[in-house]
Amino acid sequence: MLLVPAGLAAVIAVVLAVAGMAGGWIVTAAAGLCVLSLAVGWGDLLRLPHRQGTAVLVGALGVVSLVVGTVAVTPGTAVQRPLAVFAAVIAVAVLLSFGHELLRQDGRHDLVESVTGTLTGQIVAVLASGWVLLFHTDAGPAAIIVAAAAIGGSRVGAALPLRLPDRLAPWVGVGIGLGAALGASFLVKGVSPVTAVGFGVAVSAVGVAIDRLFPLEEARFDVSMLARAAGPVAAAGTVAYTVLRMGVG
């Protein structure tokens, strides 16, 4: 069963890689697919009390962030520090999370869980806009392909049915993600092997961290698998963009 979300994550990563080669609005559309998957399954993954409202907020903030990211890197309106503009988007997410609770008509049970869970989902959705920013760096499509290889490889690696101690199992995903990123960097031009190593380690680590938040034994064969698959992929975009902006390699 664990291979299902891993396979879905790999499919989303492949779609992003293909979109990176196509360029333009297709990258935004591919990132939007990731956001949609996250929104549909997030409430079920966290077992939140008002899942429809959570899905709407996660999806809406993800779409808004993609629009903001696209505008932030569009010639004529481009800003020097694109990530800074998302501070306002996250501030709106905080307000909407509390507004969502005020509109609930179910007695507002599990209030803290609902607020924190919904806000976390919105933030992860916002991180998906990093794929748009990554495409508009000097590395362009190459950066998208290498980062997508890293997250796709790490997801499949983390789900392999290997009988390893809990402390060693996550390193399999990190190792495969690192190898996939490094291999992809030799197939495309624009991303140095050192930068690819940075992508592989950082992106794979994000996937491992999200797995730790949602223990594998809780995996369920329902729509929550969409969020389990899309969450690491969404976060990977901004992580890879940050690695690139830090000048790794």
Q: What does the buried/exposed string (b/e) look like for 49-74 if buried means 16 or more CB atoms within 10 Å of the residue's CB?
A: bbbebbbbbbbbbbbbbbebbbebbe
- CA-to-CA distance for 91 and 172, rounded, in angstroms? 37
Q: What is the pLDDT of residue 183?
A: 95
Q: Which residues have a Cβ under 8 Å from the Cβ of 167 and sit 6 or more positions away?
A: none
User: What does 67-125 look like in DSSP terms, one character per residue?
Assistant: HHHHHHHSTTT--S-GGGGHHHHHHHHHHHHHHHHHH--S--TTHHHHHHHHHHHHHHH
Q: What is the pLDDT of residue 138?
A: 86
Determine the structural domain holding residue 155 and report its residue range.
3-245
- CA-to-CA distance for 88 and 108, rounded, in angstroms? 27
The distance from CA 76 to its chain's CA centroid, rounded to whole angstroms, is 28
- Whats the size of the chain, residue-wise? 249
- CA-to-CA distance for 6 and 123, rounded, in angstroms? 21
Q: Which residues of the chain have pLDDT under 50?
A: 218
The answer to whether 6 and 226 are in contact (CB under 8 A) is no
- Count how many domains the chain has: 1
Q: What is the pLDDT of residue 91?
A: 92
Residue showing tokens 């495409």? 135
- Enter the pTM of the model: 0.91
